[in-house]
Every structure is written in C-alpha cells, then in structure tokens.
Structure 1
C-alpha cells in the first residue's frame, strides 16, 4: 500500500477517508494533551516548521492501521535557543531477548502496553514556537503560531523529555533503572518485576498476576496507555509462547516478507547459502559515487536489523556487506550479493530463535 508524502496527496487518494480519520485523531491528541497556546509571535523568535507524515502499520492477521502525525521539522531548531540536551536512552535488543529468556524460564506473566501520543505526555522546558497545521480545528489569524507546551514529535528534545516523564512515573512506583540498560526498570519485592521501555512500547514481566494488574492500573492512571494484552509482537518480531515447556520463540517471517516485497524479491528463487563461494567482494580501485544507484546501504541496514533480532546466521554475510556501504565503494556485484542474502531469507524465513 503506497504511503502518501503530503497532506494533499493523502486527502486526494483512494484512502482519503482513512487518512482524514487518522489526522483527526492526531488533532484531538494535541487538544487533549493541552499541547500549545495560540500566539502571534514576536519578530525575534525562531519559528520551527511542521509537516504531516503518514504511515500504515500492518500486524499479522490484522487490518491495516492508518496513522498520521504532525511533526516538527527539528532541523529548523536552533541550539541553545529551542533546545539544549537531547540524549535519550533506547532499550538494547540483547536486553529484550534476555528479559524474554528470564520470563520464559520463570514462567512469568508477560504483558504489552503502548503509550498513546507518547511524546505529547512529556513536559517542554524551552520556549518553542512552531507552525500550526493548516486546517487545524478552530479559526486563527493568518500569522498565528503555536507556542508549544508539550514536546511535539520531531523536536530534538522530545524523546528525552518523554523518557524523563516515564522515569519519573516508574520511580514513584519503586522501579529503578538497571545498571546494564537504563531502559529496563526493575522492582525487587517478594517477586521481581521488570518493565522494559522502547520509546512508547512497554513490556511488563512478573510472576504475580495480581501485582501485574496493579502496576498496569497505576501506569494507566499516570500516563495515557493502551493495554495490548499478552505480548505477541514487539519491534517487528512475532512472539510465540509455550508455557508448558517454558519457552518463547521469536520469528520475523512478516518482516522478511515485507523486506522481500520492498526490494522486489518476493518472487525470487531461493538459495541455501547467503554468500557465494565463487565471488569474492572487493571495493572498486577508484571510488565512484555513480558506480551503483541501487539502495545498497538501505538493504544492508535492513538485513542487519534481522540479524540483530532473530537471525544470528546472518552475522557473517552482513559483516562482509557492511564493509562497502560508503558511497563509491559498492557496485552492481555488491548489490547482487546483497540480493542473494534476500534469496537465502526467502528459503529460511520460517527460522525461529528459541529462548528458555
């Protein structure tokens, strides 16, 4: 399904009703979170640009979810005026697997929650003025802008302010960040309780169902959250559980199918090995940025993500392909080698990683 690049394209295409509904949801989130004041800005302030972006979220076995977001053009911000600190931690994939392994072995309850319009729940410290979206509900003078009260998506400091908000809430519930990964929060009481935060996606794991329900209720009281039930999908991984065997399996079959379609390889012939022994890759003697126009770095990055999540068998081919991602270092032969890895994934997309 093609994704529109502009508001005009979204509202004139075959899915205009779905995109209009998604934009209405986003506008309501701005209003509900008291995200801005309407002001006529002084001539001296920097006005940060804004843009609608659109995405279709497709989960296995579910109808497509149309999502629209009005974001700040962070590249128009000015350091020490619109923003200061920007660092925000992100959960590491080894932490995700380690937590799921602990939960499988301990037969923990594992739940998933999602924060709605997460960044709009943080607090913005700086004075930031931003273009308001054309057609936003209400009537405003032509020179009106938003003086932001919430860290809108796209602002450089928005992820940091959201993390600070989550940390504040979890500390109040006696959860503390792990020394090995500050996105993993742990509470040690009669039973250990783990909460892993990846931006707006939460994994909760503990043995006691009553304790799980109490913490979910407390989180929903402090933040606008959706309870997604038992963990089934996370970061593009499908998660299957066998509680009797105390195991969890991770797979990326849907991710691989989408990858094959994206690079027009879904009808390709499969191969049994990811690299060919007959062809050794080397960089061209004289780098030429025009040597290959194919999206080689994008494909290598996508293969790397599969490797990091569930496919350690891709470690060597990805390491070889990664040597040549700089412009001028990859040619048609490198592109062909990368596509061979896709053909290997075509044959092995049902491979799973078992934890527990």
Structure 2
C-alpha cells in the first residue's frame, strides 16, 4: 500500500495540541514508496510520543487551570462534576450548627460529667464461634480451649459489637444518635446529650439530676469510672473558664517528645547536612518503620485535636 502526502517530512511539526486523527486522516493513497511511508510514519510516531511526554499531568486544581492545557482540564473537571450532579452524589446544604459539645455546654452553662467504660469490649456478646488458645498463665486441661462468648480485643468484630451494645443501652434510656454525628446522642425529651469515643464519654445536661440518673442506669449494665467534671478526653486537656472551655494537648505533646525524640530539635532540617541516603533492597527489612509511622500518626492527631 502506498501513500500520497500533502506535505514534505520537513514541514511536519507535531505538538501536544495537534489532533492525532488529523495527522492520520491526512494520509491518502498515492505513489510514494513503502520505505518513505514507513520512515515518515516513524517520524510522526516519534513526534507524537515526544509531545505526549512533554505534557505534565497536574496534581492539583491550581496546576490544572494554570497549565497550557487548562481548557482541556476545565472541560474534564466540568464533565466529572456533571456526572456527580446527575447521579446525586451530593446535596448542597447549609453546614449544620451546634455540633461542638463543649461550646454548647459553656454557652448554656450546663452541667458536664465524664466517664470511662472499664474493659468496654468485653461487655459485648459475639455472634461467631471463635476458638483461641489459652494465654500464658491460664491453666486448663489438655485437649481444652477457650471459646469466646464476648468480643475480645483483637477480633475484627469487637469494635462493631461494642458500639451495638452501648448504643442499644442508650436507646433504652431515651437517647438517640444525632443525624449529624453518630457519636453524639441526644435525649428525646430532656435537655441532655452524650458524646462517646469508643469507651470514653462526656455527658452534659441542663439539670444535674439527669447526670446522676444516667450514672446509676449505666452502672447497672457496665462497670464505670465516673468523674463529676471533665478534665481530659482522648488526650485533650479541658479547662473550664468563665466564658466556656479551653482545650490544649500539652501532656500529649510532651509525651510524644519524650518517647520519640531524646531532646527538642535544635535544627530546622530533618536530616544532617550532606546525608547520603541508600536505596533499600527488596529483601532488606525496614528498621524503626513502626516508630516513624507512630510518630507521624501522633503528630497528625495533635494537629486535628485542637
């Protein structure tokens, strides 16, 4: 098969904007030798590949709209947003207010207590037959094992069954989970609310008798550590002021420095100057990887906590 070209090879200049279909469709049958045709096709393919390599894929919205191909990226963004709108991925609504428990308590001068469930997961029943080997120190006859009756720590169902257990109990006491935050429980008729984080909780109410009532009722089902104030929760120190509450994470930050770094860093760069990094081989084990991941996770928690 032979091709006739509307241009000479010297006249061809392919850019990232040029439509590949235009280049291919401009070739027509003619009297050029197969060798010349293949040479030109190789040149076109090389130009197209080089042009595609020069197009940098943006990683952010700002990079996309400021790139030379911004009109193409804007079309792609618009298409994706239209797809989300057409299938109802989201609704545009006002942001709900009143989700900050301590802010509400401070503004309304409510009474606030805190509590902790002792061995929380062990209160929840498990619905699967799971057998475990007895731990060291537990002596049982040969041929016997331990069949779990409760959601022991480490089982994949433990967290779910504990949540199901405590949520059911709170429901019987007249509390229902908020539509905006499933860890926040509001009383159906009284001005009272409970915020839970796994086994730690805060209860606030306009009437102090509701706090005592909840302490008594929960104590019938769970073993509790109850405090008539709130001083800390999930690593956050809480101090009551005349205008509300003040939150800080000083103890957690100090603990991170003590366990992660021997002393406060005195230089801004994370590595010594002119440090040579060596690529890790596939069969080599990463040392201190868990310590590094733990430090990053702790610092991330600090940034989000307060």
* Separation in structure 1 between the aligned mates of residue 257 and residue 265 of structure 2, nearest angstrom: 9
> What is the distance in 2 between the residues matched to 1:249 and 1:237?
10
- Secondary structure of 2:246's match? strand
Indicate which of 100, 103, 116 corresponds to 2:102. Answer: 100
The answer to whether the 8 A contact 2:112-2:230 is kept is: yes
For normalisation by structure 2, the TM-score amounts to: 0.59
Q: Which residue of 1 aligns with 2:87?
A: none
**Alpha-carbon contact 2:124-2:162 (below 8 Å) kept:** yes
- Specify the alignment match of 1:25 in structure 2: none
Tell me which protein shows more strand as a share of its residues: 1
**What stretches of structure 1 of length at least 5 have no aligned partner?**
1-94, 280-285, 311-356
1:303 and 2:295 are equivalent in the alignment? no
The match for 2:260 is 263
CA distance in 2, matches of 1:96, 1:265: 42
Deviation digits for residues 123-166 of structure 1 (CA, Å, limit 9, x no counterpart): 11111111112222xx5212211111111111110111111110
Partner of 1:133 in structure 2?
135
8 A contact 2:126–2:151 mirrored in 1: yes
- CA RMSD after TM alignment: 2.9
CA positional deviation for 1:289: 4.6
User: For 2:114, what is the secondary structure of its paired residue?
Assistant: strand
Post-superposition shift, 1:173? 0.7
Structure-1-length-normalised TM-score? 0.51
> Cα deviations across residues 259-302 of structure 1 (Å, max 9, x unaligned)?
11122253444x8xxx78xx9xxxxxx99457x96654433222
Q: Are 1:148 and 2:148 an aligned pair?
A: yes
**Do residues 124 (structure 1) and 121 (structure 2) align?**
no
Alignment-derived partner of residue 70 in structure 2:
none
1:91-140: per-residue Cα shift (whole Å, max 9, x none)? xxxx998111111111111111111111111111111111112222xx52
- What corresponds to 2:192 in structure 1? 193
Rate the CA distance shift 1:96–1:204 in 2: closer, same or farther, 3 A: farther
| 1:239 aligned partner | 238
Unaligned runs of at least 5 residues, structure 2: 1-96, 272-276
What SS does the corresponding residue of 1:254 show, helix, strand or coil? helix
Tell me the SS of whatever aligns to 1:133: coil
Structure-2 change in CA distance of 1:266 and 1:110 (3 Å) = farther
**What SS does the aligned partner of 2:116 have?**
strand
Contact 1:106 1:246 in 2 (8 A): no
Contact 2:237 / 2:249 at 8 angstroms: preserved in 1? yes
For 1:208 and 1:200, the matched residues in 2 are separated by 24
Matched with 2:214 is 215
Residue aligning to 2:169: 169
| Residue matched to 1:249 | 246
**Is the CA contact (8 Å cut-off) linking 2:184 and 2:196 kept in structure 1?**
yes
When you count helix as a share of all residues, which structure comes out higher?
Answer: 2
2:126 is paired with a residue of what secondary structure?
coil
Q: Distance in 2 between matches of 1:206 and 1:193?
A: 4
Distance 1:266 1:145, change over 3 A: same
Q: Distance in 1 between matches of 2:156 and 2:207?
A: 39
Q: How many residues align?
A: 200
SS of corresponding position for 2:187: strand
Q: Which has the higher contact order (CA 8 A, sep 6+)?
A: 1
The Cα offsets for residues 17-46 of structure 1, whole Å up to 9 and x where unpaired, read as xxxxxxxxxxxxxxxxxxxxxxxxxxxxxx
CA contact (8 A) 1:96 1:196 kept: no
The CA distance in 2 between the partners of 1:309 and 1:201, in whole Å, is 15
Q: 1:176 to 1:143 in 2, by over 3 A?
A: same
Match of 1:21 in 2: none
Output the CA distance in 2 between the equivalents of 1:116 and 1:213. Answer: 18
Helix, strand or coil at the partner of 1:135 = coil
Residue 178 of structure 1 and its aligned partner are, at CA, apart by: 0.8
User: Could you say if the C-alpha distance between residues 96 and 255 of structure 1 is closer, same or farther in structure 2, counting changes exceeding 3 Å?
Assistant: farther
Residues 170-223 of structure 1: CA deviation (Å, up to 9, x unaligned): 11011001111211111142x421111111111111111011111111111122
